Amino acid sequence: MARGHAVDSWFSELVGGGDEVFLVEMGELLRLEGIRRAGPDPGYSAIQRRSGDVKSYRSIWISDLHLGTHRFQAEVLLDFLRHHEAENLFLVGDIVDGWNRGPGWFWSAAQTAVAAEFRAWMRHGTRLTLIPGNHDVSAELAEDLLGLTFAEPELIYRTAEGRRMLVIHGHQFDRALAAGRWWQSGQAYAMAQRINDWYGRDWDERCQRPRSFSAYFRYRLKRAVQYLTDFDDRAIFEAVRERKADGIICGHIHRPEQRLIGPVWYINDGDWVESRTALVEKWDGSLQLLRWDPAGYETEDNVMRTGIVS
């Protein structure tokens, strides 16, 4: 049974209406009555098909690889890339981690293979677009390692069913970055990585104990980190509305998600440090989040499908 709930008051003020605006929740999907839809984009070029067990999509979005760090799950992404193809592959920021240059720099054979796979996609006809994030501090480094140049920090993508989506890394909406830059030094970033390593160690056995202190502490720490790295919904809504778009596709916070902010579709494609997720557009224009497990098992979460919005 669909449930209605009121939109935040700031949204009602922005749309200039005194009446309450209600969202309707349908399972994992949200829809807003009256969201506009444009006509479909007429054409696209065919890519050179690969052989084998490969799924084909119109477009794929991935972000937050953090090449140059040991946290990047290069082997898993390599496996994902070898099982998929698309006309467009968008690298939505924090691809090569320039913040980690120096003593902490890490490069493996698997990361070299990922870079080679990107080049193979281009040889097969895929258009690769690298949208820089806040960790992509060196265009020269990205070109040397990946053979890619930085695109503009944002672009508008039109889906096959006509939706206009703002594609941007997302650090522009980060409350922590907006609050100050004191922690963006190399030393602060190295300390943050050490905390992340400590936090991510194998505490599973201890956390399974009923009411364990470690489980409680880990939960509170996670909630604090999520708050500090979360987005400002109002800023997202205003940015999308200013560009006359229907939604936003971004990364940055390492948390795959799909939801509505008022009438605006917010879709975060996740990361390849923890989530191992990508956003894909099927040939009919529907968008889905995919999670790729090391064993190659793929799970899908519907985001937007033709006919969902009435």
Domain co-membership, 71 together with 215: no
pLDDT of residue 11: 43
Mean pLDDT lowest for which of 35-49, 57-71, 165-179, 244-258? 35-49
| Span 166-187, average pLDDT | 68
Q: DSSP characters for 33-57?
A: TT----PPP---PPPPPPPSS-EEE
12 band by pLDDT with thresholds 50, 70 and 90: very low
| Span 183-212, average pLDDT | 48
pLDDT of residue 295: 74
Q: How far is CA 9 from CA 14, 227, 261, in A?
A: 9, 21, 12
Mean pLDDT lowest for which of 20-24, 79-83, 199-203, 225-229? 20-24
Q: How far is CA 90 from CA 25, 103, 127, 253, in A?
A: 29, 30, 8, 17
Write out pLDDT tens, residues 261-281.
Answer: 999 999 999 999 999 999 999
Domain co-membership, 239 together with 104: yes
The answer to whether residues 23 and 2 touch, using CB atoms and an 8 Å cutoff, is: no
Domain co-membership, 168 together with 236: yes
Asked if residue 24 is part of any domain, the answer here is no
Asked if residue 194 is part of any domain, the answer here is yes
Number of folded domains in the chain? 2
Q: Please, what is the end-to-end C-alpha distance for the chain in angstroms?
A: 17
Q: Is the pLDDT of residue 162 over 80?
A: yes
Domain co-membership, 167 together with 187: no
Q: Is the pLDDT of residue 34 over 50?
A: no
Domain co-membership, 192 together with 100: no
8: left (phi > 0), else alpha (psi -120 to 50), else beta? beta
Asked if residue 31 is part of any domain, the answer here is no
pLDDT of residue 47: 55
pLDDT of residue 214: 53
192 phi/psi in degrees, rounded to 5: -60, -40
Give the ranges where 85-203 is alpha helix by DSSP (H). 109-123, 139-146, 175-179, 186-199
pLDDT of residue 299: 74
pLDDT of residue 238: 95
pLDDT of residue 78: 97
Domain co-membership, 116 together with 237: yes
Asked if residue 36 is part of any domain, the answer here is no
Q: What's this model's pTM, rounded to 2 decimal places?
A: 0.73
Asked if residue 71 is part of any domain, the answer here is yes
Amino acid at 106: F
Domain co-membership, 89 together with 211: no
Give me the CATH number covering residue 118: 3.60.21.10
pLDDT of residue 298: 76
Give the ranges where 213-273 is alpha helix by DSSP (H). 213-228, 233-242
Domain co-membership, 193 together with 267: no
Question: What is the C-alpha to C-alpha distance for residues 273 and 67, in angstroms, rounded to an integer?
Answer: 10
Asked if residue 127 is part of any domain, the answer here is yes
Q: Is the pLDDT of residue 33 over 60?
A: no
Asked if residue 17 is part of any domain, the answer here is no
Q: Write out the residue range of the structural domain in which residue 206 sits.
A: 183-219
The answer to whether residues 199 and 144 touch, using CB atoms and an 8 Å cutoff, is: no
Question: What is the C-alpha to C-alpha distance for residues 79 and 296, in angstroms, rounded to an integer?
Answer: 7
| Span 102-111, average pLDDT | 94
Domain co-membership, 152 together with 271: yes
Q: How far is CA 178 from CA 110, 173, 257, in A?
A: 35, 8, 22
pLDDT of residue 282: 96
Q: String of b and e for 135-151 (b: at least 16 CB within 10 Å)?
A: bbeeeebbeebbebeee
256 phi/psi in degrees, rounded to 5: -65, 135
51 band by pLDDT with thresholds 50, 70 and 90: low
Q: At what angle do helices 74-82 and 109-123 cross, to 10 degrees?
A: 20
Percentage of the chain lying above the pLDDT 90 cut = 56
Degrees (nearest 5) of the Cα angle 139, 141, 145? 120
85 band by pLDDT with thresholds 50, 70 and 90: very high
User: What is the SS3 assignment for 161?
Assistant: coil
Domain co-membership, 105 together with 201: no
Q: Look up residue 188 and give its two tokens.
A: 């602060």
Specify burial of residue 302 (Cβ count, 10 A radius: 0-12, 13-18, 19+).
Answer: middle
Domain co-membership, 155 together with 191: no
Asked if residue 246 is part of any domain, the answer here is yes
Percentage of the chain lying above the pLDDT 70 cut = 61
Question: What is the C-alpha to C-alpha distance for residues 130 and 124, in angstroms, rounded to an integer?
Answer: 17
**pLDDT higher at 271 or 2:** 271
pLDDT of residue 177: 57
Q: Is the pLDDT of residue 160 over 80?
A: yes
Domain co-membership, 209 together with 108: no
H helices, E strands: number in the chain: 9, 14
Q: Is the pLDDT of residue 61 over 90?
A: yes
pLDDT of residue 14: 47
**pLDDT, the chain, mean:** 76
